[in-house]
Structure 1
Amino acid sequence: MLFKAVLFDLDGTLLDTAPDFILSMNLLLSKYDKPLITESEIRSSVTNGSEGLIKKAFKIDSTHENFAAIKKEYLEIYYENIAVKTTIFDGLELVLDACETHKIPWGIVTNKPIKYTEHLLKKLKLHQRASVIICPEHTKNPKPDPEPLTLAAQKVEVKPCDCVYIGDHLRDIQSGNAAGMTTIAAEWGYLEADTDIEDWRANIIISKPENVFDFIFHKELSLKMLFHKMPFNYVPAKNLLDEKIVLITGSTGGIGTALSMKCAELGATVIICGRSIAKLEKLYQSIYELGLKEPLIYPADFLGTKKDDFQILTKKIEKEFGKLDGLVLNASLLGNLSSLDDYSENMLDEVMQVNFKSQFLMTQCLIPVLKKSESASVIYSSSSVGRKAKAFWGAYAISKFTTEALVQIWASEHENISKIRFNAVNPGATRTKMRAQAYPAENPRNLPTPEKVILPYIYLLSADSHCISGQSLNSQDKP
């Protein structure tokens, strides 16, 4: 299972409370000889609480002279009828039962006042089942501030990155994201008519509560659903990588250059690494002239680098920055496209040195500074021929198979001992010099530019992917 704690918003997420809100409102409207309301007319207003319901039903705003009195009377009626028709959404009782069976804490983080929350949960016999209940009275700042969710994680003794939070309002997702949790936008909830739920930046959107169980309790499906949403339409937030230190090998190539520029634009301090000092200096100047954080140049030719070189680099990073947040192993050598029968030993050594051995040793040496990051990410550039081999791709394909293996082994070994995440990205067919070398007859104008394929790298470098490790992503629908 991907998560160690499950947290819910209350109204419109865990519980369908709208029927009792509407029942109470109609009782009040009857008293004032006002027209009654239907569920279709007012259900979406439930997300705005009692004030939103009163505004909708009585067609007055909070400045009306009778607004406070009507609100007081409405809340009294609601308190008395709080659990007449309210139920757990279909499918979520199964989630609660599974959490309890597997000893996974579940809880509620709501902006509903404690008086009504506790009364409702006691009526439904949920009060003693929940491991934690956080209401506005428990914190200085309510949602969308992360404080309520951070407190909930503390109470259940689970790191925020191991929690999932489910909510049906923008403030829920903002709070969960800020707390560093995986967030689920509950499309079954009380969404207002003009809401574009995609704009909330939830990790995943689930349309039916019945689907929550599979997402939470089936790890492979969880990852598949997260990946389906992420790579192609990911929109990085401004300053997404602020205060992060990111080292990118192959920085002077197409994808490496595009990624270095984008990381710098998003606030990272980038350590640019490549063979050509002239090209590194040119990239340095491009970043510097934009007024971005000054990059650090690390010249390296992986054909000749040894473990000692990477150990020196590690000490330099530790002295300069104290940590490393991201490592992108992007440098690659294509080698000869020929049959294995005719493949030269010298070329085999060179390709495996650049694509495998140097990347392995660099990662190994940098582990100590990666461990000093709160959320370190190691990303290897992979290839489709590293998943399904093709004739005549020789050592390049072999090296990319080792890349996929490295990711899985590193991730498995570090799963419970560090916060470092290990993943691979297959950028697919891209307008680069290596692609032109492999496919000289291909029209490069038919291919996406490097800038178009780097979003999965950005995603994996960010806190948005804090629960993702040991996976291999594609940058394009057709890898």
Structure 2
Amino acid sequence: MTDPRSYRPSKDALKDRVILITGASDGIGKAVAIAAAAHGAQVVLHGRNVRKLEGVYDTIVASGGPRPSILPLDFEKAGPEEYEKLVAALDQEFGRLDGLLHNASMLGERAPIEHHDVAKWMRTMHVNVNAPFILTRSCLPLLKRSPDPVILFTSSGVVSNPRAFWGSYLVSKWASDGLMHMLAQELENQPAMRVNSINPGGVKTNMRLQAYPAEDRSKLPEPEAITAAYLFLLGPDSRGVQGQTINAQ
């Protein structure tokens, strides 16, 4: 298999692929969206902040990429009707979905279990586990219409190296990886469908700052530096890669 970390995509590696990226308004999601569009993808930008999404939109258009779409949705508050409207909009505009990147997530509290706020725990689990489940379930009919569909979850180093005080974030990432493995096996009768997870590693993002406020950020890579692995897994060059967690660094 090609090493995803050193993957060098061709200019049109993602040409005409419709890819929905959650959490695309900032950080890794923004960087992947811009990189995917630069390689020909028709990107669908999800996030809560419309102003930030419009900024990503403008960046892609100014660089000559395919004109993206914007789908604002707050996973904390969204109910079944909002997901149905999202899928209906995708169906009407594109008729299919070639890639789904679950990038949006919430850090939650880093504290001993006995001190955790129950409501905050529930919100983190909902955004990091329930929302990707609901969105995947809702988008599966559109993904099955693609000749080469991809579902990509976001993992974390805390999955392979669990540690104290990481609370709902750690538990949610274990659950997300479990969902990935389960779904990969459930879709074995769909040989074109690929389901994997990607671990971005330490990157200079706002969430990383929340988790490690005293860290020397000058030693962290920018989000743009790790997009190669994402482009590999979201594109046709990753055919045959299934049910794996891939490190972006």
Global fold match (TM > 0.5): yes
- Aligned partner of 1:273: which letter? H
Distance in 2 (CA, whole Å) between partners of 1:360 and 1:374 is 22
| Distance (whole Å) between structure 2 residues aligned to residue 329 and residue 438 of structure 1 | 20
Q: Which has the larger radius of gyration?
A: 1
Name which of 373, 389, 392 aligns with 2:162. Answer: 389
SS across alignment from 1:454: helix
Structure 2 counterpart of 1:253, one-letter code = D
What's the TM-score once normalised by structure 1's chain length? Answer: 0.51
1:362 and 2:128 correspond: no
For residues 320 and 351 of structure 1, the distance between their equivalents in structure 2, rounded to whole angstroms, comes to: 31
* Pairing partner for 1:416 from 189, 204, 223: 189
Question: Is 1:315 aligned to residue 83 of structure 2?
Answer: no
Q: Deviation per CA, 1:101-153: give whole Å up to 9, x if none.
A: xxxxxxxxxxxxxxxxxxxxxxxxxxxxxxxxxxxxxxxxxxxxxxxxxxxxx
Give deviations 1:237-273, integer Å, cap 9, x for gaps: 1110001000000001210010000000000110000
1:448 aligns with 2:184: no
Identify which of 258, 265, 279 aligns with 2:31. 258
Aligned residue number for residue 267 of structure 1: 40
The residue aligned with 1:241 is 14
Structure 2 counterpart of 1:407, from 163, 180, 198: 180
Cα displacement string for residues 321-359 of structure 1 (whole angstroms, at most 9, x for unaligned residues):
111000000001001110111111101111011100011
| TM-score after normalising by structure 2 | 0.97
**Alignment-derived partner of residue 331 in structure 1:** 104
Distance 1:389 1:418 in 2: 33
Q: Which runs of 5+ in 1 are unaligned?
A: 1-225
- Which residue number in structure 2 is paired with residue 304 of structure 1? 77
Q: Please give the alpha-carbon distance, in whole angstroms, between the structure 1 residues aligned to 2:92 and 2:85.
A: 11
Q: Quick one: distance in 1 between partners of 2:66 and 2:114? A: 49
Structure 1, residues 212-251: CA drift from partner, whole Å, max 9, x if none? xxxxxxxxxxxxxx2xx41221101111000100000000
Alignment of 1:277 with 2:50, yes or no, is yes
Aligned-partner residue type, residue 87 of structure 2: T
* Superposition deviation, residue 418 in structure 1: 5.2
Mapping 1:11-30, distance limit 5 Å: none
Runs of 4 or more, structure 1, over 2 Å off, are: none
Q: Distance in 1 between matches of 2:17 and 2:197?
A: 20
1:467 to 223, 240, 246: 240
Query: Which amino acid in structure 2 is aligned with residue 387 of structure 1?
Result: S
Name the Cα RMSD after superposition. 1.0
User: Secondary structure at 1:453's aligned position in 2?
Assistant: helix
Superposition pairs for residues 42-441 of structure 1, below 5 Å? Answer: 226=1, 229-417=2-190, 419-441=192-214
Question: Kindly, what percent of the aligned residue pairs are identical?
Answer: 38
Distance 2:94 2:101 in 1: 17
Per-residue CA deviation, residues 64-99 of structure 1 (Å, 9 max, x unaligned), is xxxxxxxxxxxxxxxxxxxxxxxxxxxxxxxxxxxx
Any stretches of 5+ residues in structure 2 without a counterpart?
none
Partner Cα distance (2:137, 2:191) in 1: 14
CA positional deviation for 1:307: 2.6
Separation in 2 of the partners of 1:417 and 1:377? 11
What is the DSSP-based 3-state SS (H/G/I as helix, E as strand, rest coil) of the residue aligned with 1:310? helix
* CA distance in 2: counterparts of 1:327 and 1:307, whole angstroms: 18
**Aligned equivalents of 1:458 and 1:390: distance in 2?**
30
Q: Please give the alpha-carbon distance, in whole angstroms, between the structure 2 residues aligned to 1:387 and 1:364.
A: 26
8 A contact 1:387–1:401 mirrored in 2: no
Number of paired residues? 249
SS in 1 for 2:189: coil
For the 8 Å contact 2:26–2:52, the answer to whether it is kept is no
Q: Secondary structure at the match of 2:170?
A: helix
Q: How far apart are the structure 1 equivalents of 2:240 and 2:80?
A: 30
2: CA distance, partners of 1:291 / 1:452: 21
Measured against aligned partners, the alpha-carbon deviations of 1:404-461 in whole angstroms (never above 9, x if no partner) come to: 1011001000011352211000000001010011000111110011011121111011
Contact kept, 8 Å, 1:386 with 1:399, in 2: the verdict is: no
* 2-structure distance, mates of 1:306, 1:419: 30
Equivalent position SS for 1:456: helix
CA separation in 1, counterparts of 2:190 and 2:9? Answer: 29
